Structure 1
């Protein structure tokens, strides 16, 4: 497709053509990945202002000094995303068969540092898994489950593409944390910027110091203060950092690292707020703290599970 025919009608045709056959997606990806995404993820210049399209919600001042703002930015950015994340669903199967993915995973309570062939590093948190497949034009990861910190080596000619349950992420080099929660997928960008595409084809740019909450057809981006950034990466030091979460939320975090769960057996204590820094792999310290300071008792079962209940009045007085 000639770039001079970059019209809404042309991009509608491109959408339909890519969806017809996975092979179309692979062909389009190889033609577009290097050219378009490299422009999207660097600062634009006057020379290429007509080729770079900014993320959703970009300021119209980007087209100042007489430069005409790009017509139909959503479709222009589709060229980049079709080169990678936009094709994960449509053409992912063909790419995986060609490259042959490698599976990396962790057990419950385990973390693992992975060195990828391009120099990128991935640290997997507890009970996590990714599939990695690299080609000459594309570095591709299928995020299977759990949580991971990515420190991606910069390569403007070969985008790094991550396909997750609720959306797809593309970058040419960044530092970020990705976690698949039960109800959404959470992306935290620590350095650089990434393009995110949900399954409804909404394209959003997420920059350093921000977090994106992704569901199947929606993305919400919020800036994070330093304290919250530290909280989201505390697991890399083997810690759980609580800043006023409910007891139910805290228990959910600790259970990610336990083979036998903690269970809140008394609904009256579920919304008690807790705080502090605790070892992720030693929940005994957390249990001792809430017993002493919050009037909560813990009953350990023969299988190692722990039931949390409110202490009786008689126990409080002893």
Structure 2
């Protein structure tokens, strides 16, 4: 959760759950929790968090104190009953709560309505090539979904979630359109990528040209050529800029390529391929720059290399929750 951003009900429920599970509440805080739980929406969220936590592999109780790191650099949280200072409890609880809320939210994102709406989708860490009726192909990246709507007049794909590369078969009579986050990309040639994140999207052209429009921005379509990319969101169309399109879509080859990228951005990208959650809990390290080529199929190995290179440590609760810090 970003600084200054109001917590959601799931965020609040997750933090209450983690702090209570750690035995970190005094009598007054327990009374506040009971009052909070009286609200039906809060109780529903708390029960969902509880079920999700139980389903996530039965995370084991952490061992002993955090006073000293182990030889591998991994620290462990204290046992129930060994209560550290309140500020420290809150810090760890907030980080743990973030992953629980994220996992629950992800579960909602791929619920039955989306499964019914999607014509093709991928799980976390999976990629898939989808052939279309007209000879075009779609390569779906991790945790992505599309809906296909072909007619006599046009070929329209809706990117419901995630990222995909489209290789378009020529058909002058039927434009090929990819809709994502209230904008559209219209193929003028062959190969381009679209990535959707909430209400924003990025279009990157690998071959030929693509027209990008975002009606809410009140501008005519912007035309991109090979090696160019553009973002759009509720703020409108961004600036057209040059990009190494092959590197940006290296995930098709099972690679992630970073060149002087802030650690915060790198961790966010690794999280797309990891079934758990990697969380930076030390604000001083998020801007550290990272360069390297990593495997999409093993994000934790990438994290190990980053830790060694930057001199960082991690606290790991099974493979699910990883807290990154100095």
- What residue number does 1:214 align with? 232
Is residue 307 of structure 2 the alignment partner of residue 288 of structure 1?
no
The answer to whether the 8 Å contact 1:102/1:133 transfers is no
Deviations 1:163-210 (CA, angstroms, capped at 9, x unpaired): 111411122532001001246310001112122210224222122221
Any idea what SS the aligned residue of 2:249 has? helix
- What residue number does 1:273 align with? 289
The answer to whether the 8 Å contact 1:158/1:172 transfers is no
| RMSD of equivalent CA atoms | 1.9
With normalisation by structure 2, the TM-score equals 0.61
- What residue number does 2:151 align with? 135
Q: CA deviation at 1:101?
A: 7.6
Q: CA deviation at 1:241?
A: 0.6
The answer to whether the 8 Å contact 2:181/2:198 transfers is no
Question: Which range moved further: 127-136 or 169-178?
Answer: 169-178
* Partner Cα separation in structure 2 for residue 278 and residue 162 of structure 1: 29
With normalisation by structure 1, the TM-score equals 0.62
Give the 5 Å matches for 1:57-72. Answer: none
Q: Which runs of 5+ in 2 are unaligned?
A: 1-115
* Partner Cα separation in structure 2 for residue 217 and residue 270 of structure 1: 25
Provide closer, same or farther for how the CA distance between residues 245 and 183 of structure 1 changes in structure 2, counting only shifts above 3 A.
farther
- What residue number does 2:315 align with? 299
Q: CA deviation at 1:150?
A: 0.3
Is residue 242 of structure 2 the alignment partner of residue 224 of structure 1?
yes
Any idea what SS the aligned residue of 1:170 has? strand
* Partner Cα separation in structure 2 for residue 208 and residue 154 of structure 1: 17
Q: Which runs of 5+ in 1 are unaligned?
A: 1-99, 311-318
Q: CA deviation at 1:284?
A: 2.7
The answer to whether the 8 Å contact 1:199/1:217 transfers is no
Any idea what SS the aligned residue of 2:291 has? strand
Provide closer, same or farther for how the CA distance between residues 288 and 282 of structure 1 changes in structure 2, counting only shifts above 3 A.
same
* Partner Cα separation in structure 1 for residue 127 and residue 197 of structure 2: 17
